[in-house]
Amino acid sequence: MENISYIALSRQKTLRSMMNNISQNLANMNTTGYKEERMMFTDWIAKNKDAPFRGEREISLVQDISQYRNTTVGNIEHTDRPLDVALSQPDMFFAVETPTGVQYTRNGNFTLDPGGQLITNDGYPVLSDAGQPMFFNQADGQIEIKGDGTVSTDIGQIGKLQVITVDNVQRMIVTGNTLYRAPNEQAGDDEEIAVQQVENPGIVQGALEKSNVNPISAMTQMIDVLRTYQSVTRSLESENERMRNMISKLGDVRA
């Protein structure tokens, strides 16, 4: 295969990855607490031992190696619902109990189940700073959640929301659109990160943090990727046509 074909195919693969990434972000632009994912690329030197000239036997290609998370805080939208809470600072998470252990989220769209337990919109118990679920009873009146996470009602304090931060938020492992877990050795992860509770996380009651995806920017990127992919496809078709014509002419000469 000619070098130009290798380069074009490499570019197409990268563009497909970019399109998948943009599509995922757009699909979650209205997901509370969602963080935009972005691509990381690097140069990759490939060997082409079949190239006729020595200078063409190494090809510089582009390879998508990973994704990273845009951790900027999304817009804080006030809902006036007492159990909606938003984190106004980046790199912080609420702790929740899932069937596979403690995980973390920035989606503070909390509700009460029939038993009065504070849960996420996925039904997972929200944890206190003591690592326990939080319960309300029928006698509890107006709910107040302070900036430090302390939860109180008319008859007293219920507990304090557990909010954590980590030493490397990019190492957090995505398990759902807004759920993450911290890597640890017990789960077989290569690197463990430190998790520590935040004393005063600056919680905003009656509000939700919206996705930090910019839909206009994402749509513009999608159009650019599509046009570039079409341009690369045309280049491949042109190169294939050139090769066919060359082979046809060589065949005529030999005949």
pLDDT digits (tens, 9 = 90+) for 155-205: 889 999 999 999 899 999 999 889 999 987 566 677 788 899 999 999 999
Low-confidence winner among 3-12, 79-88, 103-112 (lowest mean pLDDT): 3-12
Q: How confident is the model at residue 37 (pLDDT cuts 50, 70, 90)?
A: very high
The more confident residue out of 25 and 243 is 25
C-alpha to C-alpha distances, 56 to 2, 64, 240, nearest whole angstrom: 10, 23, 19
Mean pLDDT of 226-253: 75
Provide the pLDDT for residue 110: 97
Tokens, residue 140: 């509890």
Q: Has residue 217 got a pLDDT over 90?
A: yes
Provide the pLDDT for residue 35: 95
Three-state DSSP at 112 gives strand
Mean pLDDT of 131-158: 91
